[in-house]
Amino acid sequence: MTLELNLSALWPVLAPALAAVLVLVLDVVLPRAHATHLWVAAAGLVGGAVATVPAIGQGRGDSTGAFCLPSGDCLYAVSSLTGGLQLLALASALVVLVLTWSRWRRAARGDRTSAPRVVLVGLFLAATAGVAAVPAARDLGTLLVALELATLPVVGLVALERRAHRHAGAVAGAVALLMTSLVSFALLALGAALWVAATGTALLSPAAAAAAAAVPEQAALLLLAAVFVLAGLGFKLSTVPFHAWTPLTYATAPLPVTTYLAGTSKVAALGGMIVLVQTLAGTSGFALVAVAVLAALTMTLGNAMALRQTDLVHLLAWSAVAQAGWLMLPLASLSSRAVHAAGGYLAVYVVATVLAFVVVTAVAHRPGGGTSLDDHRALARRQPLTAAALGFALLTLAGLPPALIGLVAKVVVLRPVAADGTWWLLVVATLNIALGIAVYVRWLAALIERTAEEQAGAAVVAAAITGSGEPAEQAGSAAYAMPWSHRVLITALAALLLLGSIAPVGIF
């Protein structure tokens, strides 16, 4: 058997993977290089992002394959949607790299407060290569390997939090992620075995699935295979009931790693889900009903739990669960429009969520800062531009004007469901829109919350302590300079959301 290679299609995956190898080589050749590893990582991510442009420029329905068999089937294929997902993964990973740049730059051998820089960067790049590979996988072997490559290095990044006051919690979060990942892989492996038994091939081919569905005995195996694979992918996307790891791991991991889990890793999860749903086109509708039920349960539980949270990392963790339901919602109605709607919604969700995490990280790094809701009270007075950017991200997630991009995203994912006449799912989604608004408006209110009496009292206390009429909170704010990296990221991400709200139609 011969394979037709097409390396040009593989560069979005090869670039971060080769950067990881180069980082390991440089650590041997130049062991005392300080920022070299980080610059190599940045070059790998940028190179991979640039390599997605040809795929994105393809017409809808066209694809470029790699590792193609003589039969014409390819083990790896990129369409315009696949290229968009890869670009989203690489760009969000670059944001995380900038967010953690200063800390990883200080990491070195012998530093007991941090793992060696080469280990952190190597794991980070390996996970990103896996994320970029998942949406392009067209056979079970590639899909399983890519999913695990996207997951296991992140377990290491979570566990390598060595600061004494967070180390025990980080290990617990990493163990929760690892154990759930192993169970997920077991489900995926069982589903893969059933798939091969039903179709006679490891290829994720719609034709093979349709042929198996036409035979009653094989259709039963195909149905079980779809259920097990869907359950395994549900872990990656944090869907109910495979979500238990999410609040614990998000809260105990370093904030940049949590940002990676909330943003970049979700590309792999939804990419795998899209591959499965596209493959099952024309077979039994049971799998799509299962997607609809999971979507409804996931968004409802996520919003209900998010309403109870006072710690913002926990709130964003449950928000990620709720948003996973919205990501799955259009996939309950299989069509080209539904698949692209899910991809567009993912892009909006990732940008808004990463922006929220960047602001949470910036506030947490202030002297005396933290991640509770109280730490964000009156943020609009202390840092009005930062609060405005955060507010726009929260309005996007809630789907409220003036963040039109969030509103359009929700309308677009509801359209395929409405077209199919799945009214019960529309009712559940509408109720969850109201719940989601309550979740994010509560946070928005905290940004500007402060009574006139409290403000006058703070001014009096500040005048007594500092000898001026300026409130103490504002004086402290003036003494604190936000790192340039946080400022750049907040500005760039907020600008993306703003531009998307000016011309939201171009996103979908």
Q: How far is CA 190 from the centre of its chain?
A: 26
Q: Two tokens at 81?
A: 């949607």
Q: Two tokens at 262?
A: 């909330």
Phi and psi at residue 310, to the nearest 5°? -110, -20
How far is 21 from 117, CA to CA, in rounded Å? Answer: 14
pLDDT score of 473 more than 50: no
Residue 452: the pLDDT is 44
pLDDT score of 474 more than 50: no
Residue 495: the pLDDT is 92
Average the pLDDT over 409-431 and give the result: 86
Write down the mean pLDDT value for the chain: 83
pLDDT score of 199 more than 60: yes
Average the pLDDT over 492-505 and give the result: 84
Q: How confident is the model at residue 198 (pLDDT cuts 50, 70, 90)?
A: confident
Determine contact, residues 343/79, Cβ cutoff 8 Å: no
Residue 112: the pLDDT is 54
Residue 101: the pLDDT is 85
Residue 46: the pLDDT is 95
Run of H or E residues at 391:
helix 384-398
Phi and psi at residue 296, to the nearest 5°? -65, -45
Asked which of 126-140, 150-164, 225-239 is least confident by mean pLDDT, the reply is: 150-164
Asked which of 76-90, 372-386, 479-493 is least confident by mean pLDDT, the reply is: 479-493
Residue of 347 and 117 predicted with greater confidence: 347
pLDDT score of 389 more than 90: yes
End-to-end CA distance of the chain: 40
Run of H or E residues at 465:
helix 452-466
Give the residue extent of every domain in the chain: 285-508
pLDDT score of 462 more than 60: no
Burial 407-446 (b: 16+ CB within 10 A, else e): bbbbebbbbbbeebebeebeebbeebbebbbebbebbbeb
Average the pLDDT over 264-290 and give the result: 78
How far is 388 from 363, CA to CA, in rounded Å? Answer: 14
Closest CA to 348 of 266, 243, 428, 435: 266
Tell me the three state secondary structure of residue 108.
coil
Determine contact, residues 406/336, Cβ cutoff 8 Å: no
Q: How confident is the model at residue 290 (pLDDT cuts 50, 70, 90)?
A: confident
Determine contact, residues 353/315, Cβ cutoff 8 Å: no
Q: Which residues contact 188 (CB under 8 A, 6 or more apart)?
A: 143, 144, 147, 228, 229, 232, 233
Percent of the chain exceeding pLDDT 90 equals 31
Residue 286: the pLDDT is 59
Using the structure block, give the residue that is written with the tokens 């963040």. 403
Tens of pLDDT, residues 53-75: 988 888 777 788 888 888 778 88
Residue 475: the pLDDT is 41
Percent of the chain exceeding pLDDT 70 equals 86
Residue 471: the pLDDT is 44
0.85 exceeded by the pTM?
Answer: yes
Residue of 143 and 370 predicted with greater confidence: 143
Q: How confident is the model at residue 468 (pLDDT cuts 50, 70, 90)?
A: very low
Determine contact, residues 263/354, Cβ cutoff 8 Å: yes
Determine contact, residues 74/68, Cβ cutoff 8 Å: yes
pLDDT score of 456 more than 60: no
DSSP state at residue 202: S
Q: How confident is the model at residue 450 (pLDDT cuts 50, 70, 90)?
A: low
Tens of pLDDT, residues 92-127: 999 999 998 888 877 655 555 556 788 889 999 999
